[in-house]
Chains A and B, each alone.
Chain A
Amino acid sequence: MNIQKMVKRISVSYLILIMIGCSSDYKPEEPPADANPYWDTDGDGISNAVEINPANAHHGFDTTQVDANPSKAKGQPNSGSLEGGINLPDEGEGYYHYIGRDPVDRDDWGTLALINMIEGGGRWWQDLGHYSPRIGIGDMSLKEGGPFTNYYDPTELDHESHQNGLDVDVRYVRKDNLESPLNIKDNAENYDTSRTVIMLSCLWTSSIEDTLCSPIVWIAISSHAVLEIDTTDTLPPGVEWPTIWRDTTTEHDDHIHIRIKDPDGTGN
């Protein structure tokens, strides 16, 4: 990690610590300035966990050398596809992937920027001392993107969007720390608003943290989620405020839908 990136990372660390009111003497462990981070020993922006994930074997990643990012979001989240999609390891630091009814490795493909946001957000979450529950990651995109059909009935859709590797569903945080589904309308007493806000902040911070990530642009939450974006702060240069939309139907009562900006623009 070069000095510039490290300084940026540390400044973001402090920003988070100040924001959550932790003691000012807390310093997350950082690798030496001349070393790559432990999670990405070849420094190519693709984590070791992703590189050794068997589902990504076809990419030929090598943890000892710099690999190119094979992924590209094509078209739009509602009508697009995913080129060179990368599979999210089923669990990692601070996160786990829940698969619902889908077979393993059917529903967890994305662009590198999305994978990096999830892995980075998980690390932030764990660095801040949240070991249980981990961040619950749900549907992303299919391996080649396109319409996210129902596995059991391909004539039906499971999602309107999630087509080009930019979307991910995330569970609300439960007060009882279980890594289980939570419908915040049905089971309001178990919904942990404070930690859901911290979790979103971890993912957001991860999404704006380096050049191989891409900022969160849109978040859909349940109208019962009782959280909002505070636009009084200053954002880093070039980063725009994400849009948060409250779903007044029941469709986001059991998950938050997050979309990142298309890393290479929407022109392809």
Chain B
Amino acid sequence: MKRLFFYILILGGIIGGWSNKMNGEKILTVNRFIKSGEQGILKLDLSTMDSTLIFKVGKDSHVVNISLSPNDTLIAAIVGSGTTTQKKLVILNMMGKVKRDINRDVRVYTWSPDGNKIAFITGTYHEDGRPFIPTGVYIIDIISGKEEEIKGSPDPRRITWAKFDGNIYIERFCSYREKERIFRYNFSTKTVESTEYKGLGFSPDGKYYSHYDVEMFPSPPYRLYRTSDNKEITSQLLNTIGEDINYLGKFPPGWLKNTDHLLLCTKKEYELGEKVGIFAIIKGVRSVTNWIYDPEKNRVIKQFNGEVKWVGKDRILAVEREGKITFEEIPQE
């Protein structure tokens, strides 16, 4: 029990970057590990609670944005050093051995749906509002190491390799009022073309997509759209759940893997500690409410409490309640 508690302390900390793997009988996760200033990647088998520190960096360095490949064979992470603003993308096997080390100030990446390639944006950090000035967009084949540059992408900010059509979508850094925001890389013509889309958070089946941007205040930071006609349906979501937009700014809903288009919406209430004026330090989480929402049927198909730590394969959610992890099935749409 003590051991379990230790793991949950690791998992329940402020560090994010969750991903998961369900491999036959095993449920593996990779997560950021921080202890005494050292950082690395921790692999954890949740069926046995066996953990292995598979990758470690020095005290001056950090590991962020950790993810597993969709085919569950590789791990990607962004590694930076406290002494420089330069960051690199490392790709590891499941034992933590470095397979690719892309040391070109990589900030943003996305896996191909088959897990064999990664598209990434390189850029230079500077502290003027936006986090980096992009310098290029590339695709790398993990096995061969062959690289391809995506040319003609205007001011790339975010990138996603969509599962539903296999295309790469790139969001441009622009005022939200500007119409040309999302671009698609056409693999056959090797060109970047503009789209009518307003965001790139596509559902697995591509029928819906979201856009998230906190700077849209007082408009909702999270917006949900129907892909076929680009109609915004955020108010439909909010009305059905019965919540206001505020919590969507704190915890933007995410698509559940291995479903067509189910959204997981989460709301947390905090325990507050030290307080100064109207501001307080968050001491802990008092309650977590979740809704699984189907935009097609416009209904909540499941509402439950507890912290959802990751989303597994085979329509399974892992939920933490009072220090225990339980596995719950996602209902059929």
On whether the beta carbons of B128 and A230 are closer than 8 Å, the reply is no
Contacts of B107 in A (CB 8 A): 250
Contact A185/B249 with A16-B277, A78-B216 known, Cβ cut-off 8 Å: no
B95 beta carbon closer than 8 Å to chain A: no
Q: Mark B93-114, 1 if CB is under 8 A from A, else 0.
A: 0000000000000010000000
Min CB gap A89→B, angstroms: 20
CB distance from A12 to the nearest CB of B (A): 9
* B177 is an interface residue with CB less than 8 A from chain A: yes
A-B pair number, CB within 8 angstroms: 160
Please give the distance in Å from B39's CB to the nearest CB on chain A: 9
* Contact B214–A252 (Cβ < 8 Å): yes
Please report which residues of chain B, range 210-231, place their CB below 8 angstroms from some CB of chain A when the two chains form the complex: 212-218, 221
Q: A157-B175, A160-B176 are in contact. Are A230 and B216 (CB under 8 A)?
A: no
Known: A78-B175, A185-B64, A187-B82. A228 touches B34 (CB 8 A): no
Contact A78 B127 (CB under 8 A): no
Stretch at the interface among A1-9, A25-33, A42-50, A199-207: A199-207
Majority secondary structure, B binding face: mixed
Number of interface residues of A (CB under 8 A): 68
Contact, CB under 8 Å: A229 / B216: no
Q: Which of B2-10, B138-146, B162-170, B278-286 contacts A (4 or more CB under 8 A)?
A: B278-286
A194 to B279, CA, bound (A): 10
Contact B217 A259 (CB under 8 A): yes
Residues of B within 8 A of A226 (CB): 14, 281-282
Of the listed stretches A53-61, A63-71, A95-103, name the one at the interface; the rest are far from the partner chain: A95-103
Q: How far is the CA of A156 from the CA of B80 in the complex (A)?
A: 26
Whether a CB of chain A sits under 8 angstroms from the CB of B16 is yes
Closest CB-CB distance, A117 to chain B, in whole Å?
14
CA distance A16 to B277 in the complex (A): 6
Q: For the A-B complex with A201-B279, A220-B217 known, give 7 more contacts whose Cβ atoms are closer than 8 Å.
A: A138-B128, A156-B173, A201-B277, A227-B280, A245-B217, A251-B214, A259-B217
Question: Which positions in A face B, CB cutoff 8 Å?
Answer: 15-16, 19-20, 78-79, 98, 100-102, 107, 138-139, 147-148, 150, 155-162, 169, 181, 185-189, 193-194, 197-198, 200-201, 204-205, 217-218, 220, 223-224, 226-231, 233, 235, 241-243, 245-255, 257, 259
